């Protein structure tokens, strides 16, 4: 059977499920008092103190080996943790990328020296990473990147520009996809990944404001930045394969289902205050009917990752379904609230809805656009 029949109901092992209660108890103290329009930001919320507290509790780098400061646990444990964090609307943005993908990438491709250097502070919630893939002229067509690292006697010289880099202004390092040989016509050949210390001379970071008023992503300029030889992560020339593997981790997690969940919870609380209507009940049920199988699919993809598989097509299927639901929720809740008469809707609910209405378009852009994912799915189905 093709990818369509390969995602079976998967149980989260009891040991991993057991993490849920302590995490939930901690979050009830730590974030429940924040207003929903703040919690709705979740993995766009930046809070180093919160990240360090998670690190102190041993909840960062959960899947990394203990020798590097991690907890040596399975991807299911991380799934449970992240599911709780996102549903609570915890501000996880500062450590998010490091914990989700940079740490595992360094573990997989790094030298022992790199692992010892980078991983322990990631696990302590002190060291934050960003993803340097997109450039002004390389969005979906990622293989066309022009930022270049040229070998010198003392390492590399980096020049070029990245854009849309989430929290570059609050991160210590970027893992950048750069050209180390050939030119844009060589496509997947000649690309490599380098770890860039963002405090180095020649690096300029400029935040960009999005339409909701937040500034989470940035332009990053490299003006002949001198990098050490060990800035290279993985193999020279294998950057494309490395990035592709990284994206499977990026696309399948619970963060592709729950981006609008704080709004959903807030709306349900409003309904329970005595203003439920038959159409609102029906809508709530429709969202649950979509969410339940999606959650099961996303756990099943985690099961594949836990077995060491690389479920790229499955992750794309789940991400496209998930982001569609995430975008449906604010649209449908807006219709419900705006179709009532003579009822006052709490301001916090309206602000949360307004925030999500404005950021919803990004759900199907970040991490690969909807069209790009559908193209990957089609290829996986044997259509190319």
Partner 1 sequence: METAMDDLFTDALRRWLTDQCPPDRVRAIEAGESHASLWESLEDSGFADALLPEERGGAGLSLQQVFPLLELCGAHALPLPLGETLLARAALAVARIEPPRGSVTLGEAVATADGGVRCDRASGGRVADWVLTCIDDSALLLPVREAQVRGAVFPLDAALTWSAATTCGAARFDAALDIRALLACVHAAQIAGALMNVCNRTLQYANDRVQFGRPIGKFQAIQHQLAVMAEHVIAARMAAQIGCRGDPTQLDRSRVAVAKARASEAALEVAAAAHAIHGAIGFTAEFDLQLYTRRLHAWRQAAGAESYWHDVLGAELLRQPDGPAFDLPRRLTEFH
Ligand X SMILES: Cc1cc2nc3c(=O)[nH]c(=O)nc-3n(C[C@H](O)[C@H](O)[C@H](O)COP(=O)(O)OP(=O)(O)OC[C@H]3O[C@@H](n4cnc5c(N)ncnc54)[C@H](O)[C@@H]3O)c2cc1C
Nearer to partner 1, 167 or 267 (CB): 267
Return the range that interacts with ligand X (CB under 6 A); candidates 61-69, 153-161, 238-246, 361-369. 361-369
135-154 footprint of ligand X as x/- string (CB under 6 A): ----xx--------------
Residues that bind partner 1 (CB under 8 A): 3-5, 7-12, 83, 87-88, 258, 261, 264-265, 268-269, 271-272, 276, 278, 280-286, 288-297, 299-300, 314, 317, 320-321, 371, 373-375, 377-378, 381-384
- Select from 198, 319, 348 the least CA-distant residue to 253: 319
Instruction: Name which of 73 and 256 has its Cβ closer to ligand X.
Output: 256
Least distance CB 289 / partner 1 (angstroms): 4
Q: Please give the Cα distance from 372 to 314 (Å, whole number).
A: 14
CB within 8 Å of 368: residues ≥ 6 apart: 140, 247, 251, 316, 319, 376
Interface with ligand X, residue 369, by CB under 6 A: yes
**Residue 365 in the binding site for ligand X (CB under 6 A):** yes
- Residues of this chain, 21-50, that bind ligand X according to CB under 6 A: none
Given partner 1, ligand X, none, residue 140, with its beta carbon under 5 to 8 Å by kind, binds ligand X
- Minimum distance of partner 1 from residue 160's CB (angstroms): 30
Q: Which range touches ligand X (CB under 6 A), out of 64-72, 77-85, 129-137, 148-156?
A: 129-137
Number of residues in contact with ligand X under rule CB under 6 A: 18
198 lies in the site for ligand X, by CB under 6 A: no
**Surface-to-core class of residue 289, CB atoms within 10 Å of its CB (0-12 exposed, 13-18 middle, 19+ buried):** exposed
Distance CA 353, CA 187 (A): 41
Does residue 131 belong to the site contacting ligand X (CB under 6 A)?
yes
CA dihedral sign of residues 316, 318, 320, 322: negative
Distance CA 360, CA 118 (A): 33
Contacting residues for 228 by C-beta, under 8 A, at least 6 apart: 154, 155, 156
Would you count residue 133 as binding ligand X (CB under 6 A)?
Answer: yes
* Separation between Cα atoms, residue 60 and residue 71, nearest integer Å: 8
Buried b (16+ CB within 10 A) or exposed e, 340-354: eeeeeeeebbbbbbb
Residue choice 46, 50, 109, 217 for contact with ligand X (CB under 6 A)? 217
Instruction: Of 173, 54, 65, give the one whose Cα is nearest residue 120.
Output: 65
User: In DSSP terms, which residues pair with 177 in a beta bridge?
Assistant: 193
CA atoms within 13 A on the CB side of 136: 5
Is 148 within 8 Å of 179 (Cβ atoms)? yes
For residue 280, the partner it binds in ligand X, partner 1, none, with Cβ less than 5 to 8 A by kind, is: partner 1
Instruction: Give me the residue label for tokens 């799915």.
Output: 377
Q: How many residues does the chain have?
A: 384
When asked if residue 79 is in the footprint of ligand X (CB under 6 A), the reply is: no
Q: Which two three-digit tokens encode residue 319?
A: 């991400």
- Binding of residue 184 to ligand X (CB under 6 A): no
Does residue 130 interact with ligand X by CB under 6 A? yes
Instruction: Give the shortest CB-137-to-partner 1 separation in angstroms.
Output: 22
Residue closer to partner 1, measured from CB, 8 or 49: 8
CB of 9 to ligand X, least distance (A): 32
Residues in touch with ligand X (CB under 6 A): 130-134, 139-140, 164-166, 217, 362, 365-366, 368-369, 371-372
């Amino acid at each position: 059977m093709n990818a369509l029949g390969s995602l079976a109901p998967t149980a989260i092992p009891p040991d991993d499920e057991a993490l849920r209660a302590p995490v939930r108890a901690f979050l009830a103290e730590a974030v429940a008092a924040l207003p929903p329009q703040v919690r709705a930001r979740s993995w766009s919320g930046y809070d180093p103190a919160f990240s360090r507290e998670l690190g102190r509790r041993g909840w960062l780098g959960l899947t990394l080996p203990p020798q590097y400061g991690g907890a040596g646990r399975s991807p299911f444990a991380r799934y449970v943790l992240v599911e709780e964090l996102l549903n609570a609307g915890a501000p996880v943005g500062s450590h998010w990328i490091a914990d989700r993908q940079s740490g595992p990438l360094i573990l997989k491709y790094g030298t022992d020296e790199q692992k010892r250097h980078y991983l322990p502070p990631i696990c302590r919630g002190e060291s934050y990473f960003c993803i340097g893939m997109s450039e002004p002229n390389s969005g979906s067509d990622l293989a066309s990147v022009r930022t270049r690292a040229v070998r010198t006697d003392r390492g590399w010289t980096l020049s070029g520009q990245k854009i849309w880099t989430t929290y570059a202004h609050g991160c210590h390092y970027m893992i950048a996809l750069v050209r180390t040989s050939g030119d844009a016509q060589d496509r997947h050949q000649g690309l490599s990944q380098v770890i860039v210390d963002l405090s180095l001379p020649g690096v300029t970071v400029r935040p960009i404001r999005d339409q909701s008023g937040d500034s989470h992503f940035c332009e990053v300029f490299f003006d002949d930045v001198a990098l050490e030889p060990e800035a290279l992560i993985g193999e020279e020339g294998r950057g494309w394969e490395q990035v592709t593997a990284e994206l499977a981790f990026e696309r399948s997690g619970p963060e592709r289902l729950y981006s609008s969940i704080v709004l959903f919870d807030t709306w349900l609380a409003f309904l329970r205050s005595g203003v439920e209507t038959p159409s609102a009940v029906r809508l709530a049920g429709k969202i649950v009917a979509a969410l339940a199988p999606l959650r099961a699919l996303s756990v099943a993809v985690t099961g594949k990752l836990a077995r060491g598989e690389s479920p790229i097509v499955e992750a794309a299927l789940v991400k496209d379904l998930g982001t569609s639901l995430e975008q449906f929720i604010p649209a449908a809740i807006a219709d419900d609230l705006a179709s009532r008469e003579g009822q006052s809707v709490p301001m916090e609910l309206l602000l949360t809805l307004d925030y999500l209405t404005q950021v919803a378009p990004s759900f199907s852009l970040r991490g690969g656009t909807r069209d790009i994912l559908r193209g990957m799915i089609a290829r996986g189905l044997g259509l190319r």
